[in-house]
Amino acid sequence: EAGVAQSPRYKIIEKRQSVAFWCNPISGHATLYWYQQILGQGPKLLIQFQNNGVVDDSQLPKDRFSAERLKGVDSTLKIQPAKLEDSAVYLCASSSSWGGGKNGLYEQYFGPGTRLTVT
């Protein structure tokens, strides 16, 4: 099966500019996650969608970050305006809502990520 797709793979912007990332999850996966991974750290959840509804956005900096999943499939994460500390890899993951997957039980499958550099 096709994996999680993300674009672009790399993006360099200046601070105060805006940027958007796109994610296409594995077909049929109802749950979609956006994680931020700062260099040298583990990923941190920004937002979790179940179909097109938000399940958890407690760690999303809502003054500058926004995300949507309008039709319950693709998702877009936007940053406006960007700050230097937003430089990170943004990972998208998806999982089946019924606990399926190769190892079962809500295993998350990750995309290759988008590396953002803010100068």
53 binds another protein (CB under 8 A): no
21, 33, 49, 65: which one binds another protein (CB under 8 A): 33
Per CB under 8 A, the list member of 77, 91, 116, 118 interacting with another protein is 91
> Is-cis flag, bond preceding 8, omega within 30?
yes
Among 13, 20, 45, 73, binds another protein (CB under 8 A): 45
Which tokens hold the place of 36? 């931020």
CB 34 within 8 A of CB 92: yes
Across the chain, how many H-helices and E-strands are there?
A: 0, 11
Counting residues that bind another protein (by CB under 8 A) gives 30
Query: Quick one: 5 or 13, whose CB is closer to another protein?
Result: 5
